Amino acid sequence: MKYDPSKIESKWQKEWEKRKLYRANDDSLKPKFYQLETFPYPSAAGLHVGHPKGYIAEDIHARYKRMRGFEVLYTMGWDAFGLPTENYAIKVGKSPKVVAEENVTNFKRQVKMFGLSYDWDREINTSDPKYYKWTQWLFIQFFKKGLAYRKNARVNWCPKDQTVLANEQVIDGKCGRCESVVEQREMEQWFLKITDYADRLLDGLKNIDWPAATKKRQEDWIGKSQGALLEFALTAIPGQEDGKHKVRVFTTRPDTLFGATFLVISPEFAQKWIDIGWQASSEVKDYILASLKKREIERMEAGEKSGIDAGIFAINPANQEKIPVWVADYVLGGYGTGSIMAVPAHDERDFEFAKKFKLPIRKVVLPGRLVEKVPLNDMPAGIIGIKPTDWRVVTECWEGEGELVNSGQFDGMDSQKARWEITTFVKGERKTQYKIRDWSVSRQRYWGVPIPMIHCPKCGIVPVPEKDLPVVLPDLEDYRPKGMPPLASSSEFLSVKCSKCGGDAKRDPETLDTFVDSSWYYLRYADPYNDREFASKEKIKRWMPVDLYVIGAEHTNLHLLYARFISKFLKDDGYLNFEEPFLKLRHVGLIQGADGQKMSKSRGNVVNPDEFVEQYGADAFRIYEMFMGPFEDGQPWDTKGVMGAYRFLNRVFKLAEQNSLTSEAARKALHQAIKKVGEDIETLRFNTAVSELMKTLNEMDRGVAKGDFEIFLKILAPLAPHITEELWHFLGHDDSIHEQTWPEYDAALLVEDEYQMPVQVNGKLRDMILVPSDLGEDEIKKRALESQKVQYYTKGNVPKRVLVVKGKLVSIVL
Ligand code: ANZ
Ligand code: ZN
C-alpha cells in the first residue's frame, strides 16, 4: 500500500460534497457554532500560499467543533464587486462581470483543493443581484432614519482612475492601485452617519474577546477626547473693530490656558475668513493655497513644521495678554473648531513650532519631578515668565499633569482640577470631541451596487420603493471612468419615474463602495436564499452572532468598525437581537515569501499552492502551514517544510497496515495528545498540536494496536482530513471519520509533568522540592531558596553559590 494523495483527496472531496457532510443544519438540536473568515476578493492572480493559512486554521477548528458536538456554520463567499476587478477588466478589455465570474471560478477551484469543510450551499457573491438587493435595502433603511445623507466634502481624487479614493486606498500620497499622485477635490457625496454611533462603538469593545491591539486601533480611530471650547477675542484686524470677531478653540488642556502664547488657525479656517473679507497679505494667501493642496496625512506627518504670521492678535481670556495669531497646516480644518490655542511648554507640536519661529514659551504646569538644571544661555529664545531659580523647566516640553504656576489665582492647583476651574473662569464650555468622521460610501465607478435613490426635480431625493429592488446594474458597453459616474452616460438606466409624484426623474448614477457590501455579509450566510428579508429573525437567532472570526491583521480596522456599526443600526431598527457581531476575533499571521518579504507580484516571491498540492497533497500542505510557527505570527515560506509534512503522513499511512501491542509509553503519549491537541486547536495553537501528534507517532512507530491507532486518526482528522478518512475506511469503517466524536482521554495515563528535586545545603540533603519539568534554572533556584527547610538551614545568610543540575539536584553553598 502506497500513500498517494492525488488518488485519495479528490475522491473524498467528491464523496463529502455528495453526502453534504458539512451542511449546517438549521433545525438540529445541537448547540451552534458560527465561524467566519474574511471572504476573499477574487483577484485575477488567484490564490498564493498565504491565503489559505487562515482558511485551513478555521477548517481545523470547525472540524474539531463538530467532533465536540456543535452544529457548525462555516461557509464561503465572494467579495466580487470593486475597483481591482474593474481595473483589471479595463486592462484586458473584457466586462467586469465576465472577469469576476472567471476569477470566482478559479478561486473556487483552488479553495476546494484544500478540503475545506464549507457548507457550499450557503455560498454568496456580493455582485449577485439577489445579494445586493439587500445591500440596497440596507442603504434605504439608513436613508429613512436620516442616517444616509449627501454633503460636500474634500475627497482624495485619483486623476487616472477618475474616482474618489478612501484614505486607506492612498499610500504615500499616491493611488494604491495605479500609483498616480492623488489630488484633493471638493465633491458632493453620500455619507452614512457612523458618528452617531461613536460612543456605542467604544462601549461595545469592552465585552468582546478581541486582541487588545485591535481594540486599541478601533478606539484610536474613534478618538474620543474630553475637553473644552474656549473663546479668544481678536484685535488688530485691518478694517475691523477690535473684539468684534472671535475665535473658538477646542482644547483637551484648558488648565494650560495661561501658557497659551499664540493662536494657530488652520488654512481651511483662514480661507473662510478670506472669503468673508479678511484682507490678508499675499504671503499669507499663498501659504493657505499651498497648504490646501496637501493631504491631511502629509500635513500631520510632516517632519518640519511650516506656518505664517497672520498679522493679527488675540486676547488670552485668562490674563488679557495680547498674543499673535498664526496660520499653520499642522492644525487641521476638519477637527475640533479648526483652530487651536498653542501652549508650547506643554504640547510637543506647539513646542517645535515655537522654537522654529521664536515664539514665547511659558511653563504653566510643573511636573512632580525635577528636570536637570540647564544653563541660562541654553534656553530657547523668548521664554517668558520663568523665575531664574525655577530651573525645573525649560528645554523640554512637559505634556503630563502637575502643579500650576504662572497662572494667577490658580497657582498651586492640581492640573486636572484646574481643567474645569479655568474653563468656568473664562466662561468656556465642556465639550467631547471625536476623531471619527462620517463614512463616505459613494463611488463614481461602474462595478458596484447602484445606489437605490431617485433624484426628482419636484420631490428631491426619494428612495426606490422596496418592492422595486434590486436596481440592477446594467451591462454597459463602455464602463470606463471619465470623471463622471459611468452610469450617468446610460440614459436608459438613468430615466425613471419618481416614486412619489410619478413625474420624470433620474436615478442616482453612483455605486456603493465595497466596504458596504462586506459590512453585512456575515448576516446573509444565516439565510442566503431568503428573498423577503436579508435573513429571517429565526435564522438570525439560530446562528448569530459570529463565535469566531479569523481575519488578516492588515486593513481590518475599518471593515470591523463598519460591520459593528451596521449591526448596531440593525439592532436599533429591530432586526437583530445582538449588537456586537463578532464575539471572538483572531488575526492570522502573514506567510512571507522565502526571502522573508511580503509576497507580491512585483517582488517576484509569490508562491502558488497548486503545484504543492499536486505533488504532496492538501493534507501535507495543511500540516506544513500549521506547523510553521505560532498562528498569529508571520513566517517565511519554506518548500522543504512541505516535504517534511509529507514524510510524516507517509509514516502514518504505513502504520495502518500493522496491528500489534501498544507500549505503555505510546499509550501515555496518545492520551496526552488527546488532551493537548484538543486544547491547542481550541486556542489556535496549531503548531504545538502538530508537534504533539509527531511525538505520539514516534512512540507508536514501535508498535500500536488497531484501537489506539484509530484514536490517533481521530485526533489527526481535523488537520489531515483526507488521509485519515482513507485509513478509517481501510480499517473497516463505513461511516465518515468526520462524523466521530472527539475521543476521551484517560487522566490516569497523563504523563507526569512534575518531578522531585533534592536540595543540598553545604553538601547535606535538606529538602525535596516539586518542580514542573519545563521550569527554567533561575526559577528552580528561586524555588529552592524559598523552601522553608532550606531557609531554616541557611539562617538568613546569603548563599555564596547556588548550583542547579537540571533534573538532578540543587546545591547551595554558604
Ligand atoms: C491646547 C493644548 C495644551 C493642547 C496642551 C494639548 C496640550 P486630541 O486628544 O487629539 O483630541 N487640537 C485641537 N484641534 C486641533 C486641530 N484641528 N488640528 C490639530 N490639533 C488640534 O487633541 C486635542 C488637542 O489637539 C487640543 O488640545 C489641541 O491642542 C489640539 F498642553 O490645546 B490642545
Ligand atoms: Zn417627484
The whole-angstrom separation of Cα 673 and Cα 764 is 40
Nearest C-alpha to atom 2 of ligand 1 is from which residue?
253
Is 363 a pocket residue for ligand 1 (Cβ < 6 Å)?
Answer: no
| Domain 637-749, architecture per CATH | Orthogonal Bundle (1.10)
The answer to whether 246 touches 237, Cβ cutoff 8 Å, is: no
How far apart, in whole angstroms, are the C-alpha atoms of residue 686 and residue 132? 37
> Who has greater pLDDT, 635 or 303?
635
The pairing of beta strand 585-588 with beta strand 183-192: unpaired
Q: Which residues belong to CATH 3.10.20.590 in the chain?
A: 752-813
Instruction: Cell numbers for 345, please give them.
Output: 511648554
462 alpha carbon to ligand 2 midpoint, in Å?
Answer: 7
pLDDT of residue 553: 81
The model's pLDDT over 276-334, given as tens digits with 9 standing for 90+, comes to 888 899 999 999 999 988 877 777 777 788 999 999 999 999 999 999 999 999 999 98
Rounded Cα–Cα distance for residues 807 and 769 (Å):
11
Whole-number Å distance between alpha carbons of 787 and 438:
62
Contacts of residue 208, defined as CB under 8 A and 6 or more positions apart, other chains included, come to: 215, 580, 582, 583, 584, 585
Q: Does any ligand 1 atom lie closer than 6 A to the CB of residue 361? A: no
Q: What is the pLDDT of residues 228-275, one digit of tens each?
A: 999 999 987 766 777 778 999 999 999 999 999 999 999 999 999 898
Lowest mean pLDDT among 394-398, 575-579, 789-793, 796-800: 394-398
| Cβ(615) – ligand 1 distance below 6 Å | no
Nine cell digits for residue 579: 449588537
Residue 379 reports pLDDT greater than 60: no
Residue 592, judged by CB atoms within 10 A of its CB (0-12, 13-18, 19+), counts as: middle
Q: Is 341 in the pocket of ligand 1 (CB under 6 A)?
A: yes
SS3 186: strand
Average pLDDT over residues 351-362: 92
CATH 3.10.450.30 for domain 752-813, yes or no, is: no
**Residue 163 CA, ligand 2 centroid: distance in Å:** 29
Supply the pLDDT for residue 368: 60
Is the pLDDT at 374 greater than 50, yes or no?
A: no
Nearest CA to ligand 1 atom 7: 347
Query: What pLDDT does residue 674 have?
Result: 97
Distance 336 CA to ligand 1 centre (A): 8
> Residue 184: pLDDT band by 50, 70, 90 thresholds?
confident
Burial class (CB in 10 A: 0-12, 13-18, 19+), 320: exposed
Closest-approaching ligand to the CA atom of 505 = 2
Considering only CA atoms, which of 580, 645, 572, 571 is closest in space to residue 615?
645
| CA 144 – ligand 2 centroid, Å | 16
Choose the residue to mutate in 221, 248, 253, 366 for probing ligand 1, maximizing ligand atoms within 8 Å of C-beta. 253
How far is it, in rounded angstroms, from Cα 442 to Cα 514? 10
Asked whether 343 lines ligand 1 (CB < 6 A), one says yes
With a 6 A CB cut-off, is 431 part of the ligand 1 pocket? no
3-class SS letters over 114-165: CCCCCCHHHCEECCCHHHHHHHHHHHHHHHHCCCEEEEEEEEEEECCCCEEE
Q: Which helix (H) or strand (E) holds 77?
A: strand 77-78
Closest ligand to the CA of 504:
2
505 CA distance to ligand 2 centroid (A)? 7
| C-alpha 263 – ligand 1 centre gap (Å) | 12
* Residue ranges matching CATH 1.10.730.10 in the chain: 637-749
Q: Which ligand approaches the C-alpha of residue 506 most closely?
A: 2
| pLDDT of 376 strictly over 70 | no
Q: What is the pLDDT of residue 747?
A: 85
Testing ligand 1's pocket by substitution, the residue of 230, 264, 296, 347 carrying the most ligand atoms inside 8 A of its CB is 347
* Cα distance between residue 200 and residue 569, in whole Å: 11
Nearest CA to ligand 1 atom 26: 251
Of 536-545, 574-583, 654-663, least confident by mean pLDDT is: 654-663
Give the model confidence (pLDDT) of 58-91 as tens digits.
999 999 999 999 999 999 999 999 988 888 898 8
Pair 736, 16: CB distance under 8 Å: yes
What is the DSSP track for 594-642? TTSSPP-TTTT----SHHHHHHH-HHHHHHHHHHSS-TTS-EE--HHHH
The residue written with cell numbers 484517560 in the block is 746
Closest listed ligand to the CA of 456: 2
- The response to whether residue 250 sits with its C-beta less than 6 Å from ligand 1 reads yes
Q: Give distance in angstroms: CA of 413 to centre of ligand 1.
A: 22
Type and span of the H or E element at 312: strand 307-315
| Prior bond of 470 cis (ω within 30°) | yes
Pocket residue to mutate for ligand 1, from 299, 335, 349, 430, most atoms within 8 A of Cβ: 335
Query: Looking at the CA of 503, which ligand is closest?
Result: 2
Per the rule left: phi > 0, alpha: psi between -120 and 50, beta: everything else, 588 is beta
- Could you identify the atom of ligand 1 that is nearest to the CA of residue 345? 31
> Which of 438 and 754 is assigned the larger pLDDT?
438
267-275 vs 282-293: helix axis angle to the nearest 10?
130
Spatial contact of 343 and 260, defined as CB atoms under 8 Å apart: yes
- Residue of the nearest CA to atom 20 in ligand 1? 331
The C-alpha cell 514524510 sits at 647
Give the SS3 label for residue 180: coil
Torsion angles phi and psi, residue 548, rounded to 5: -145, 125
Give every CB contact of residue 202 below 8 A, 6+ residues apart in sequence. Answer: 218, 219, 222, 224
- Ligand 1 atom showing the smallest separation from residue 399 Cα: 31
433 has a pLDDT exceeding 60: yes
Sheet hosting strand 71-74, strand order edge to edge:
71-74, 32-37, 548-552, 585-588
What is this structure's pTM? 0.84
Say how many Å lie between the CA of residue 72 and the centre of ligand 2.
Answer: 48
Ligand 2 centroid – CA 192 distance (Å): 23
Architecture of domain 225-433: Alpha-Beta Complex (3.90)
Reduce the secondary structure of 387-436 to three states and give it as a string. Answer: CCCCCCCCCCCCCCCCEECCCHHHCCCEHHHHHHHHHHHCCCEEEEECCC
Cα dihedral 304→310→311→317 (10° resolution) = -100
How many other CB atoms are found less than 10 A from the CB of residue 275? 8
Q: At 80, which helix (H) or strand (E)?
A: none
Query: From atom 14 of ligand 1, which residue's Cα is the shortest distance away?
Result: 336
Sign, CA dihedral 250-253-257-262, equals: negative
Work out the pLDDT band at 377, boundaries 50, 70, 90. very low
Q: Percentage of the chain with pLDDT > 90?
A: 69
Nearest CA to ligand 1 atom 28: 251
| Shortest-distance ligand to the CA of residue 248 | 1
More confident residue, 273 or 381: 273
pLDDT band for 659, please (50, 70, 90 cuts): confident
pLDDT interval class at 556 (50, 70, 90): confident
- As annotated, the residues of the chain forming the CATH 3.90.740.10 domain(s) are 225-433
Name the band, by pLDDT with cuts 50, 70 and 90, for residue 635.
very high
- 331 Cβ closer than 6 Å to some ligand 1 atom: yes
Determine if the peptide bond prior to 465 is cis (ω within 30°). no
Ligand 1 atom nearest 225 alpha carbon? 11
Q: Other C-beta atoms within 10 Å of 635: how many?
A: 19
Grid look-up 479678511 returns: 278
Give DSSP secondary structure letters for 706-731: HHHHHHHHHHHTTTSHHHHHHHHHHT
Strand partners, 734: none
How many angstroms separate the alpha carbon of residue 114 from the centre of ligand 1? 52
Q: Which of 34, 41, 44 is nearest to 65 (CA)?
A: 34
Q: Is the CB of 345 under 6 A from ligand 1?
A: no
Q: Whose CA is nearest to atom 29 of ligand 1?
A: 251
**Under a CB-based contact definition with an 8 Å cutoff, are residues 667 and 708 in contact?**
yes
* Ligand 1 proximity of 336 Cβ (cutoff 6 Å): yes
- CB of 263 sitting under 6 A from ligand 1: no
Average pLDDT over residues 468-486: 90
37 CA distance to ligand 1 middle (Å): 39
| CA 469 to ligand 2 center in whole angstroms | 18
Q: Name 234's Cβ contacts closer than 8 Å, sequence gap at least 6.
A: 240, 242, 243, 244, 245, 246, 247, 312, 313, 314, 315, 325
Name residues whose C-beta falls within 8 Å of residue 417's C-beta, 6 or more positions apart in sequence. Answer: none
pLDDT at 382: 39
Q: Which residues are near ligand 2, the ion (C-beta closer than 5 Å)?
A: 456, 458-459, 498, 500-501
How confident is the model at residue 457, as a pLDDT? Answer: 97
Cell numbers given for 779: 526559577
User: Mean pLDDT over all residues of the chain?
Assistant: 90
How are beta strands 225-235 and 163-165 bridged, if at all? unpaired
Is residue 578 lining ligand 1, measured as CB closer than 6 Å?
no
